[in-house]
Amino acid sequence: MRRGFLKNANTPKTKNSEVPTIQDSLAGLKIAGGIEIHGQPLDLGDRIRSDQAPIVCTLPPNAKPDEPVSVCLIWPETTELLQNTQGFPQPLRPQPNEATYRVGESPGKGMGLFAARDLKQGDFILSERALLLTTLSLPLPHSRFAEGASQSDGRVVVPATFNSLDDFERHMKTLVDQMRPVNREAFMSLTVARPHTTDGSGPIHGRIRTNGCSISNLRPGPPGQWKGSDGQYGAILEKISRLNHSCSPNTQSHFDKASLSHSLFAVRDIAVGEELTNNYTPLLDSALQREWSLKSYGIVCRCEACLDPRTSDPRRRRLNNLAPNPAQWILDPRLPDDLIVKQCLEQILLIEKEKLHASRTLYMALSILLIAHVCLGDAKQASFCAARLQRVTWVPYVEKVKLGELLDPASPAYAKRRLWRTRIDRAKAARLFDSHECVVRAFSEFIDPLAFPLVEA
């Protein structure tokens, strides 16, 4: 999970003229699966047509009184997206039988979460629905909002004429008022940290800024319709929002649309008592870039990587630059046979050294390493990769690829995969693959197609 929205007073900044319209094509869309979502359009006066305004609703629809719910502010297109999500609304994933975490004080960081027992890489820690799930952009009355704010010494300076923070606070209060009393109490007991106590944010908006986790897979409408942070969503959660930041985090969460919930996983082995952490900044950024973005949370990070950037920065840079291209390698016999294996092993080594298991690079490196061993006809090494990939439970793609049958190196499943021995059997490669795209399509036997853009040339 990455934080990093509503960091400063520059957001939200949707202008009236930029407010997206509901596409005509969506107007008569049928609900394929789930239950219909009902809600009240947010009252934004004459800023937007009421059928285009974001909707205030409690989700999932038809929740039982004892079922966790989220108060939401979502664009109409997101309503369609959810209703058309297979399985929506699915129940919350049951919590682990044995306690996995406890809330406690973390010296110098306020409250935090700690491991209540030894956790293994891939262990499921908890799942929860957000107390509040909200769009991060609203059509605002003053289109010059963004230009009006400026920053000095990392502190947001808000001009006297600037009234949009009040506006956002007022609308967010509408949502908080709709929470169940127990959820409202949990929300209001979350921390508001500097600089959100001093930048003009109200008590609700301040809590959203300090505790919000961005959600990337709810963006409504076709790609490109929404720019920058417009169309992005944020979630404020009772437990996951208590996670403090580390540049080498030991947990990762993902948001599942069907159950409308976040699930948290251990990305490496964690000893009982160790603090659970996640990242608020991109992990492969330099220490200087991370220092800058963490300022917006009032954080001066003292992790190993920040204290020793001369060792850490080159490793993270190398990890970012190493981009194994298995499709090109399969097609070009002039490239060394061990090229991809070497590159992936180097990535994995750097990940171990920097403790960057939460980075998606681990998933990509293991998947590409598996593909390379299959292409080389090495089922033994491929089966080790499949076993390691199975523990990368925090990447939702992993569930979608059939790895189980690859755990046994003697499995006949290997010979059935199109890529089997294609690096050494050139005649087979020539017969099956006449283009880069054709090879990439065959990767779907090992990597979810949604991850493909990362491995294309």
Ligand X SMILES: C[S@@+](CC[C@H](N)C(=O)[O-])C[C@H]1O[C@@H](n2cnc3c(N)ncnc32)[C@H](O)[C@@H]1O
Which span (88-96, 102-110, 150-158, 220-228) binds ligand X, by CB under 6 A? 102-110
- CA-to-CA separations, 287 to 12, 235, 367, 433, in angstroms, rounded: 27, 27, 28, 43
Amino acid 279 reads: N
Place of tokens 């935090």: 112
- When the beta carbons of 248 and 393 are compared against ligand X, the nearer one is 248
How many of the other CB atoms lie within 10 Å of CB of 22? 16
- When the beta carbons of 245 and 423 are compared against ligand X, the nearer one is 245
Least distance CB 9 / ligand X (angstroms)? 16
Q: With beta carbons less than 8 A apart as the criterion, state whether 326 and 365 touch.
A: no
Interface pattern 196-235 for ligand X (x via CB under 6 A): --------------xx------------------------
Q: With beta carbons less than 8 A apart as the criterion, state whether 301 and 244 touch.
A: no
Considering the rule CB under 6 A, would residue 297 count as an interface residue with ligand X? yes
Instruction: Give the bridge partners for 113, in sequence order.
Output: 103, 276
Tokens matching residue 348: 């994995």
How far apart are the C-alpha atoms of 297 and 241, rounded to whole Å? Answer: 13
How far apart are the C-alpha atoms of 400 and 403, rounded to whole Å? Answer: 9
- When the beta carbons of 31 and 193 are compared against ligand X, the nearer one is 193
Task: HSE, CB side, 13 Å, CA atoms: give it for residue 55.
Answer: 16
- When the beta carbons of 194 and 227 are compared against ligand X, the nearer one is 194
Binding ligand X by CB under 6 A: which of 299, 370, 442, 447?
Answer: 299
Q: Are strands 70-74 and 132-135 parallel, antiparallel or unpaired?
A: parallel
Hey, which residues between 244 and 283 contact ligand X (CB under 6 A)? 244-245
How far apart are the C-alpha atoms of 422 and 186, rounded to whole Å? Answer: 56
Interface pattern 103-142 for ligand X (x via CB under 6 A): -----xxxxx------------------------------
C-alpha torsion sign, points 116, 117, 122, 126: negative
Binding ligand X by CB under 6 A: which of 26, 157, 193, 339?
Answer: 193
Least distance CB 349 / ligand X (angstroms)? 26
- When the beta carbons of 240 and 392 are compared against ligand X, the nearer one is 240
Considering the rule CB under 6 A, would residue 31 count as an interface residue with ligand X? no
Considering the rule CB under 6 A, would residue 359 count as an interface residue with ligand X? no
Binding ligand X by CB under 6 A: which of 69, 82, 218, 301?
Answer: 301
Cis peptide before 195 (omega within 30 of 0): yes
Least distance CB 14 / ligand X (angstroms)? 25
Considering the rule CB under 6 A, would residue 242 count as an interface residue with ligand X? yes
At 323 the three-state DSSP class reads coil
Considering the rule CB under 6 A, would residue 188 count as an interface residue with ligand X? no
- What does the binding site for ligand X look like in residue numbers (CB under 6 A)? 108-112, 191, 193, 210-211, 241-242, 244-245, 297-299, 301
